[in-house]
Structure 1
Amino acid sequence: MPTFTDPPEWTGTSTDPNDEQFGDVVEGATLETADEYDAVLVGEPYDGAVIGRTGAADGPTAIRESLAGVKTHHFDAGPVRGVGDLGDVALPAAGGVEAVQDAVAETTAAVHATDALPVFLGGDNSLTVPNVRPLLDAGSVGVLNFDAHLDCREVPDDGPTSGTPYRQLFEAGLDAYACVGARHFETSSAYDDFVRERGAEVRVAEEVGDDPVATVDGALESLGDVDRVYVSVDVDVLDAAFAPGVSAPTPGGITTRECYRMLRVAASDDRVAGFEVVETAPSLDRDGTTVDAAARAVAHFLAGWSA
């Protein structure tokens, strides 16, 4: 039976009555009331599969706190409203990463069954598997992944990691995959070969810098005629200057402005069936830089999706 912790109380931080913020409009929701919202937030406080530095389990709470103080107004799309918060997914008390993935998939399937757009707040990248897997049972699916890495490592004998989600999803029947913002010298040739052999598109950070809109448009086009598109943002796609609070920060990444523009384009695709922001680790952050970047990624995606 899908279970959640109680959603937090959302309140705005401004004393100006004209400053409508996400904290003023996001409401606590349940699976039974989710259909009343355009989108629902789902926290996934887990980092048990991280290969490098941990801390992403604290991501959902920190992202919510930052987002609460963000104004709802987008100059092109207008104000973002119609957002509910289901709370955090209840994680099993025991078991390895694969057991956690299986348990979470029962909950995410119930969320996908509602009329609201699921917005998952991670948490580490291993939970991309249960976030996407229920979609594979209802038609063809492509993933648009904003990430410095391809995350298609071979699954170790002791279970999946935050580096294995897309190999797992391909084995489960994923139809298409495109990575935007991949960094040179961050991926092994064997993993580049793995995704390319499956028809995947890889667009590196330099291409984003040249023309972010053309890059994301090309990535979406490469997914072909899949029925549904799932959009994932691993915050390490951002340059380390913009996102120091991740498991593996490195130079050479994209800017927040490039990321947000591409997210608005991606969100406007009629096939979008889910969105996530993963690998935000507040304990590794500097002055809330990464947390704020992740929170605004959610805001920009919602603006693009609702426009």
Structure 2
Amino acid sequence: MKSFLYPTINPPSFTWVRPESGECSKVHEWIQPITDLTSLEKSKDAEVVILGVPLSRSSISASAASEFPEAFRRSWRSFTTYNLDEEIDLSEMTVFDAGNVPMHVTDISKCHTNIINASATIHQHFRHSKVCAIGGDHSITAMMVKGMQLEKPNEKIGILQFDTHFDLRDLSDNGPSNGTPMRNLIESGVVEGRNMYNIGLHGFFNTKDLKQYADEKGVNYFTLRTARKKGIEETVQHCLDELSSKVDTIYLTVDMDVLDIAYAPGVPASTPGGMTTEELLNGVLAAGRHPKVTAMDIVCLDPLRDTFVQPTVKLGTHVFLTFLTGVMLRQNASN
């Protein structure tokens, strides 16, 4: 069945069978595909909406990150809805899967336009929902934010970025690739450099000119060494506190290459010296708890590079569920 979002957004390529009892203990039993819904009225109050963005042709390094949205959905059966650490059950939240942004086979510009349109559509139909985009390479972030800005032109947007890289490469050399999304947003006037906060930079993976550009544009960044000395959660909270005083809404982008290569074999640009799993999950949880974080994405995870048991795919899904845990904790605190 096609949803009301079609053809701007294609329905999920497959859906899990939901239990007849209506009781859900596993993630795949809980998240509802929008194809199951008969009208906008039934889904407009969703607390969270998922959008798959299967694009990786715009990646600098060879990548099949376009395969992550489907691998992400198939991994749901490995997770329960109950978070033992926080003692909360995510099944109390309403979460819908809107499907995937349609992609052109060869035209990257067309793909990016489709992402902008799909993002705008999601933010129009689900004005009060948290939007979670599942990439795809990091080029999708600029397009998701541009779509958000189209529907919320009066809101100033800030970025919280977990990343090994600045992603500020020159557009004239690299185009709208996974190496340029932050520069794309700055130069298009959608997000000011001073409203970007990057946590996780480390090692020998950024050139000096990118640091100089970041300084010129007022981008805020914290090397992983600095963040560890201060504490990852404390650094995230510091960024959120500063951002919330300057912007109306915060977009969280999680580039999985921020992780150490030992924890993320399925990431094309993973590096030694990156974050541990615990550090990333703690940072994402802190972000999810903040009231101004209204959208997020997970990018640059290639299931075809993963090992047989797909540890990186499972970690990507864990990041998503951890963000939702933060959202639920924030809701519980406000009630």
Normalised by the length of structure 1, the TM-score is: 0.92
SS at structure 1 position matched to 2:297: strand
Relative to 1, partners in 2 of residues 1:256 and 1:46: Cα closer, same or farther, differing over 3 Å? same
Equivalence for 1:189 = 208
Amino acid aligned to 1:279: C
Q: CA deviation at 1:18?
A: 9.1
Equivalence for 1:91 = 103
Equivalence for 1:55 = 64
Q: 2-side partners of 1:129 and 1:216: how far apart?
A: 21
Runs of 4+ in 1 over 4 A off after TM superposition: none
For the pair 1:129 / 2:142, whether they are aligned, the reply is yes
Matches within 5 A, 1:1-307: 3-7=8-12, 8-10=14-16, 20-29=25-34, 32=40, 33-74=42-83, 75-76=85-86, 78-80=88-90, 81-95=93-107, 97-113=108-124, 114=126, 115-136=128-149, 137-156=153-172, 159-173=175-189, 174-175=191-192, 176-210=195-229, 211-223=231-243, 224-286=245-307, 287-307=309-329
Q: CA deviation at 1:12?
A: 8.2
Relative to 1, partners in 2 of residues 1:84 and 1:142: Cα closer, same or farther, differing over 3 Å? same
Q: 1-side partners of 2:260 and 2:18: how far apart?
A: 29
Where structure 1 has 5 or more consecutive residues not aligned to the other structure, the ranges are none
Contact 1:242 1:255 (8 Å CA) reproduced: yes
Contact 1:117 1:274 (8 Å CA) reproduced: yes
The alignment yields a C-alpha RMSD, in angstroms, of: 2.2
Q: CA deviation at 1:171?
A: 1.3
Amino acid aligned to 1:182: L
Contact 2:263 2:277 (8 Å CA) reproduced: yes
Contact 1:77 1:304 (8 Å CA) reproduced: no
Contact 1:56 1:123 (8 Å CA) reproduced: yes
Contact 2:174 2:180 (8 Å CA) reproduced: no
Deviations 1:251-302 (A, max 9, x none): 0001111111111111111111211000110111123111111010000000
Relative to 1, partners in 2 of residues 1:87 and 1:289: Cα closer, same or farther, differing over 3 Å? same
Where structure 2 has 5 or more consecutive residues not aligned to the other structure, the ranges are 1-5, 330-335
Deviations 1:101-135 (A, max 9, x none): 12210111011121321110111111111111133
Q: CA deviation at 1:76?
A: 2.1
Aligned length: 303
SS at structure 1 position matched to 2:25: coil
Amino acid aligned to 1:178: Y
Q: 1-side partners of 2:209 and 2:178: how far apart?
A: 17
**Identity score, percent:** 28
